[in-house]
């Protein structure tokens, strides 16, 4: 693993006078890392004199921060470009500058500047510091064609989203490293995000301290594989968690995503010991079949995964698990798929994000025949989701009557009954959502609630003193 400089460039500071006062609308697709990057871009552009707006029709510039993880995710963006252009024509408004950022920019580069849906600008994940200058040129004057595609990986490009952008008291995203060195055979991320590269512990602590001083109490540490965090070969994820735990005023730490292969016992013990670290593990299993796991290059077997779950359940009080699954990986047989259903039943995940395998160009699995038919993939997906729902309903049903503590995240969208006053959204430390009826609270309040029922993946609760 490469080592990286201590003094990270402050990429939130944009060159002065780049901005032309133009307005920018940012739309985000894909994972939380893109959400964080969009916040960083937002900060970068505001500082350079641009105005960020929340309606596409009102903007001079539209940036789509995109995802390449599945074919469908890319198609959505391409058709969105057409739709955005069409809306302008219909409203008789001038065409905006449209830019593609994120993983598609990195994967497709100049191809995005060709054809009927071509865009004006393509900026990859490590080059957002060029945006103020490029957008200044594009909105204020001219920008040479060859300057309009900026891609390629830079190990120093660690963005820092300004804490002032976050809503106080909800979870504040903090990317702790970027890229991925795992190269699971189906996955495009190592190519779009490049090699793993760490933000320094000092920069992470400074960022979190900034969040706490602006009123934040909870952070979610982000990375494709946070559990593989390794600062200059000397500080792993467990040690980073210890350090983050020491930030005064910080109350809760969550993290996404953990790789099952890195969930060692000492890391699990650390999570169990540190009060601020929430007992929720998102550890995607992908498949329950050893044959498929080997072909995916996931570096664990079904038994090792289950051992990890058993150990964590013993060590971490009230721990919950969530996962991702892929169905229809090349060569997945019916018995491989049955092993996936079995592991879903056995682990009893709180949440399972289930996907049909989608072949990505240039990844190792693209050399294998995509031989599970679309109909079969659909059937397996539906069956897996049904098993997850059934398992979850049993787990959740058994929770009725329990008393949990949760933190108020805001008003719930729907009132349960009008007479009882507003409904509130709460989240427990182990990531369970509860809707509570009645009362007046502030975001961030800690409350005890008695669980009275379930509605899909959300619990219903009543205040308990």
Residue 34 interacts with which of ligand SF4, ligand F3S, ligand SAH, none, CB < 5 to 8 Å by class: ligand F3S
Query: Smallest distance, Å, CB 71 to ligand F3S?
Result: 12
- Cβ at position 157, least distance to ligand SF4 in Å: 18
Residue with smaller CB distance to ligand SAH, 374 or 420 = 374
Residue 358 contact, options ligand SF4, ligand SAH, ligand F3S, none, Cβ 5-8 Å cut-off depending on partner type: ligand SAH
Residue from 344, 274, 268, 336 nearest 308 by CA: 268
Q: Which is nearer to ligand SF4, 34 or 139 (CB)?
A: 34
Q: Which residues between 347 and 406 bind ligand SAH (CB under 6 A)?
A: 355, 357-358, 360
Question: What is the C-alpha separation between 359 and 57, in angstroms, rounded?
Answer: 34
**Which residues, in sequence order, are CB contacts of 273 under 8 Å at separation 6+?**
none
Among 183, 265, 317, 455, binds ligand SF4 (CB under 6 A): 183
For 36, what's the count of Cα atoms within 13 Å in the CB-facing half-sphere? 24
| Smallest separation (angstroms) from ligand SF4 to the CB of 192 | 10
Q: 60 forms bridges with which residues in the sheet?
A: none
**Which burial class, exposed, middle or buried, applies to 168 when counting CB atoms under 10 A from its CB (0-12, 13-18, 19+)?**
middle
Residues 266-325 that bind ligand SF4 (CB under 6 A): none
Nearest to 225, CA basis, from 161, 181, 288: 181
List 65, 171, 227, 286, residue binding ligand SAH (CB under 6 A): 286
- In whole angstroms, the minimum distance from the beta carbon of 123 to ligand SAH comes to 21
Binding flag, residue 321, ligand SAH (CB under 6 A): no
Subset of residues 266 to 285 that bind ligand SAH, contact rule: CB under 6 A: 284
Q: Which residues of 401-431 are buried (b: 16+ CB within 10 A; e: fewer)?
A: eeebebbbbeebeeebeeeeeebbbbbbbbb
3-state class (DSSP) for residue 57:
helix
Encode burial over 256-287: b for 16+ CB neighbours within 10 A, e otherwise. Answer: bbbbbbbbeeebbebbbebebbbbbbbbbbbb
Residue with tokens 């299993």: 285
Query: Measured from the CB of residue 327, what is the shortest distance to ligand F3S in angstroms?
Result: 18
Candidate residues 38, 149, 220, 225; the one interacting with ligand SF4 per rule CB under 6 A? 225
Q: Which stretch binds ligand SF4 (CB under 6 A): 102-110, 161-169, 180-188, 440-448?
A: 180-188
Contact partner at residue 355 from ligand SF4, ligand F3S, ligand SAH, none, CB < 5 to 8 Å by partner kind = ligand SAH
> In angstroms, what is the minimal distance from the CB of 401 to ligand F3S?
38
Q: How far apart are CA 447 and CA 401, in angstroms?
A: 16
With respect to ligand SAH, which residue has the nearer C-beta, 50 or 191? 191
The Cα–Cα gap between 282 and 179 comes to 18
* 257 touches ligand SAH (CB under 6 A): yes
- Per-residue mark of binding to ligand SF4, 122-161 (x: CB under 6 A): ----------------------------------------
Q: Least distance in Å: CB of 258 to ligand SAH?
A: 8
Would you give the DSSP letter of residue 235? E
CA atoms 353, 280, 349, 454: torsion sign: negative
**Interface pick for ligand SF4 out of 127, 175, 224, 289 (rule CB under 6 A):** 224
Touching ligand F3S, residues 184-203 (CB under 6 A): 188-189, 192-193
Distances (CA, A) of 151 to 171, 405, 442, 445: 30, 46, 43, 44
Spatial CA neighbour of 331 closest among 188, 189, 186: 186
For ligand SAH, the binding residue among 98, 112, 187, 412 (CB under 6 A) is 187
> At its nearest, how many Å lie between ligand SAH and the CB of residue 188?
6
The answer to whether the beta carbons of residues 411 and 418 sit under 8 Å apart is: no
String of DSSP letters for 433-450: EEEEESS---TT-EEEEE
Q: For residue 68, give the nearest of 188, 186, 180 by alpha carbon.
A: 188
Alpha carbon distance 329, 318 (integer Å): 33
Letters for 29-58 (x = contact with ligand F3S by CB under 6 A, - = none) are -xx-xx------------------------
Q: Which of residues 201-230 bind ligand SAH (CB under 6 A)?
A: 224-225
Give the separation between CA 247 and CA 266, rounded to whole angstroms.
22
The stretch among 101-109, 113-121, 184-192, 206-214 that binds ligand SF4 (CB under 6 A) is 184-192
Q: Which stretch binds ligand SAH (CB under 6 A): 73-81, 97-105, 186-194, 410-418?
A: 186-194
What does the binding site for ligand F3S look like in residue numbers (CB under 6 A)?
30-31, 33-34, 67-69, 102-103, 188-189, 192-193
What does the binding site for ligand SF4 look like in residue numbers (CB under 6 A)?
180, 182-184, 187, 189-190, 224-225, 259
What does the binding site for ligand SAH look like in residue numbers (CB under 6 A)?
69-70, 186-187, 189, 224-225, 257, 259, 284, 286, 324, 326, 355, 357-358, 360
């Amino acid at each position: 693993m490469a080592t990286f400089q201590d003094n990270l460039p402050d990429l939130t500071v944009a060159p002065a006078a780049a901005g032309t006062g133009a307005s920018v609308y940012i739309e985000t697709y894909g994972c939380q890392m893109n959400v964080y990057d969009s916040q960083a871009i937002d900060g970068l552009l505001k500082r350079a004199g641009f105005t960020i707006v929340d309606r596409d029709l009102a903007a001079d510039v539209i940036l789509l921060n995109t995802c390449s993880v599945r074919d469908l995710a890319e198609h959505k963006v391409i058709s969105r470009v057409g739709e955005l252009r069409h809306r302008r024509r219909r409203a008789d408004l001038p065409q905006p500058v449209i830019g593609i950022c994120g993983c598609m920019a990195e994967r497709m580069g100049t191809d995005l500047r060709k054809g009927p849906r071509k865009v004006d600008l393509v900026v990859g994940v490590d080059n957002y510091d060029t945006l103020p200058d490029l957008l200044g040129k594009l909105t204020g004057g001219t920008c040479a064609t060859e300057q309009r595609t900026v891609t390629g990986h830079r190990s120093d490009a660690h963005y820092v989203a300004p804490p002032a952008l976050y809503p106080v008291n909800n979870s504040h995203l903090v990317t702790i490293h970027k890229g991925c060195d795992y190269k699971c055979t189906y996955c495009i991320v190592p190519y779009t995000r490049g090699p793993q590269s760490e933000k320094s512990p000092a920069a992470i602590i400074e960022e979190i301290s900034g969040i706490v001083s602006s009123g934040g109490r909870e952070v979610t540490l982000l990375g494709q594989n946070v559990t593989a965090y390794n600062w200059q070969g000397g500080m792993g994820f467990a040690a980073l968690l210890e350090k983050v735990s020491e930030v005064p005023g910080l109350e809760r730490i969550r993290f996404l995503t953990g790789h099952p292969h890195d969930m060692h016992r000492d890391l699990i013990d650390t999570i169990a010991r540190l009060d601020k670290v929430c007992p929720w593990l998102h550890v995607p299993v992908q498949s329950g079949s050893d044959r498929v796991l080997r072909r995916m290059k996931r570096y664990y077997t079904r038994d090792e995964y289950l051992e990890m779950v058993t150990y964590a359940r013993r060590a971490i009080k009230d721990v919950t698990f969530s996962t991702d699954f892929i169905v229809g990986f090349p060569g997945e047989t019916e018995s491989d798929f049955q092993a996936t259903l079995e592991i879903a039943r056995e682990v009893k995940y709180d949440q399972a994000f289930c996907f049909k395998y989608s072949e990505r160009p240039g990844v190792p699995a693209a050399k294998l025949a995509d031989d599970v038919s679309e109909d079969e993939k659909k059937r397996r997906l539906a069956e897996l989701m049904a098993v997850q729902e059934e398992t979850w309903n049993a787990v959740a049903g058994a929770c009725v009557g329990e008393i949990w503590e949760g933190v108020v995240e805001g008003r719930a969208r729907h009132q349960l009954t009008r007479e009882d006053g507003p409904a509130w959204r709460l989240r427990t430390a182990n990531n369970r959502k509860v809707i509570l009826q009645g009362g007046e609270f502030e975001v961030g309040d800690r409350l005890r609630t008695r669980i009275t029922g379930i509605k899909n993946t959300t619990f219903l609760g009543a205040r308990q003193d």
